[in-house]
A and B are shown apart, each in its own frame.
Chain A
């Protein structure tokens, strides 16, 4: 929706724009991509964007697993949802960098961690590509149409607040990131029929039980804080956890933050109030 609102904003300033999302089979909360193309002339290209001018990262934790600057043009800019200063964000190269704590803005204005409207305000400030007034108009149109005018207005406000809080600077990154390998077996490696067995490959484990290598902990906004003193070892959280990332130990529970998606069921159901959700 943010990509659409941006396209709509650019269009309202007299330009041409296209926008579309790309996502796999993951559920809500998993990383997704969205593309926007803006031009003064008609846009005929329909492919995904492989060499962007600007990269917008809505979740800072992705920087650890994805090479976000792959294909970024010379002189391009990266905007990251982060509470850090631009110079503190490392994407592996020297680059123009802008940061905004969009999650805090969204929690303040919208009361939920939906950062897509806030980040548009920041994009306007950081790039000057589209004015903040047009962004507000675009959000009112796209968000308002789908979620009702009241929610549209709130999101436009979130964009304005984020606009005022955006920091622009430069970053000199050093980290090295390799793109993940895909599993491409040849005929001899493939098991007979359609049955699969647990196998370890150059791209990691495949087959039964292999999802365990998929660390879903990056999805969360809130994490459980656990008080051993208050815990009565009733095991309710252990049963209710959709991820199975709470482990039973002798006299306490162990919360595995590598997998926790931060849903908050454990805190909500704990009869002893031993779990609290914090950021």
Chain B
């Protein structure tokens, strides 16, 4: 599907209460356009829950189910099996959660559902911290980033661990489809969700969604920063279809400092820290590329 062919109807309506410039809102609006009305949504505690559903108001125009933080994939499993019994298994069950609800709190239910190859699509929108509760570090927060629980002080400055590689963990489950997407790459975004929709079994897509409030950047730069993340290699766009891994876009390997500069959460970083992050990016890209070569 081309951008121009996306339907006009918003299944995630305007009037939602996301911050101005929210990357997650861009992702959700558009992925719903691709997935269409025959979709059921399972959503745990996260920003998206709050700005898309404040009882009794809802932005969703499809069946929407709010669940506990840790059991998105478990509830989606139940719904998916129930729909199968009812003979309605053409309905897409989508679990959608933030990075905290996926990489940290929701990972055991997610891993179980993936291993059983349940028929569902799981989307993680990655804003790299617990933004809903006020910017606390998650497993998906990158090295060096300021959050309220990785404050900048004399002894330590920002997060001292590197980002958890969730897509790789999901690929290790040998599921039919795993992909990474970004709100900055329109065609790639549409194609991946279209492909996920057309397949059966467990599908996982991780979307990179900048957060102006938590990342401390200008609200107008959300998409620009998403693109920079891909260009610098901070975020690799690739997909794994039935075990075959393909790189979707080779990074330009722009210095990582370009990506860090517009974001307040990295402002304090020393040259040494920037170098550590650059080294990590180089190694990550090398590993991703080799992995893709091995999994042909």
Contact = CB atoms under 8 A, between A and B. Distances in A.
Given A27-B51, A215-B15, A262 B56 contact: no
A25 interface: yes
B14 A256 contact: yes
Interface residues of B, number: 46
A29 interface: yes
Contact-residue size bin, chain A (C-beta under 8 Å from the other chain): 35 or more
B14 A262 contact: no
B25 A243 contact: yes
Interface string A54-70: 00000000000000000
A27 B213 contact: yes
Interface stretch (A36-44, A79-87, A98-106, A204-212): A204-212
B26 A262 contact: no
A231 B107 CA distance: 45
Interface in B205-254: 212-213, 218-224
Interface stretch (A12-20, A88-96, A131-139, A234-242): A234-242
B23 interface: yes
A114 to B, nearest CB: 13
B20 interface: yes
A244 B13 contact: yes
Contacts of A277: 220
Contacts of B219: 262-265
B22 interface: yes
Interface string A9-34: 00000000000000011111110000
A268 B19 contact: no
B193 to A, nearest CB: 13
A196 interface: yes
Nearest to B222: A265
B47 interface: yes
A215 B19 CA distance: 14
Given A27-B18, A219-B20, A209 B59 contact: yes
Interface string B1-36: 001101010101111111111110110011000000
Given A25-B50, A27-B213, A265-B219, A211 B16 contact: yes
B25 A30 contact: no
B29 A242 contact: yes
B64 A220 contact: no
B263 to A, nearest CB: 15
Contact of B56 (A183, A240, A247, A268): A183
Given A29-B19, A265-B220, A243 B61 contact: no
Interface in A137-179: none
A267 interface: yes
Given A216-B17, A269-B224, A240 B26 contact: yes
B15 A261 contact: no
B188 to A, nearest CB: 12
Nearest to A264: B220
Nearest to A203: B56
Interface string B49-61: 0111010111111
Nearest to A221: B20
B20 A29 contact: yes
Contacts of B21: 242, 261, 263-265
DSSP majority for the A interface?
A: loop
Interface in A207-260: 207-216, 219-220, 235-236, 239-245, 247-248, 256, 259
B186 interface: yes
A208 B16 contact: no
Contacts of B64: 208
A206 B62 CA distance: 14
Contact of A27 (B6, B17, B23, B63): B17
A256 to B, nearest CB: 7
Contact of A268 (B54, B57, B223): B223
B221 A242 contact: no
Contact of A196 (B29, B47, B56, B224): B56
A134 to B, nearest CB: 29
Nearest to B21: A263
Contacts of B51: 26-27
B17 A209 contact: no
B220 A261 contact: no
Nearest to B62: A208
Contact of B26 (A208, A216, A241, A259): A241
28 contacts: A25-B17, A27-B213, A28-B19, A195-B63, A207-B58, A209-B13, A210-B56, A211-B57, A211-B58, A216-B17, A220-B20, A242-B26, A243-B16, A243-B25, A244-B13, A244-B29, A256-B14, A261-B21, A262-B20, A263-B21, A263-B22, A263-B212, A263-B222, A264-B218, A265-B21, A267-B220, A268-B223, A269-B224
Q: Which 9 A-B pairs have the closest CB atoms?
A: A264-B220, A263-B21, A242-B25, A206-B56, A261-B20, A214-B15, A263-B20, A211-B15, A263-B219
Given A26-B17, A213-B15, 12 more contacts: A27-B47, A211-B14, A212-B14, A212-B15, A216-B17, A236-B3, A236-B186, A242-B22, A243-B14, A243-B25, A264-B220, A265-B222
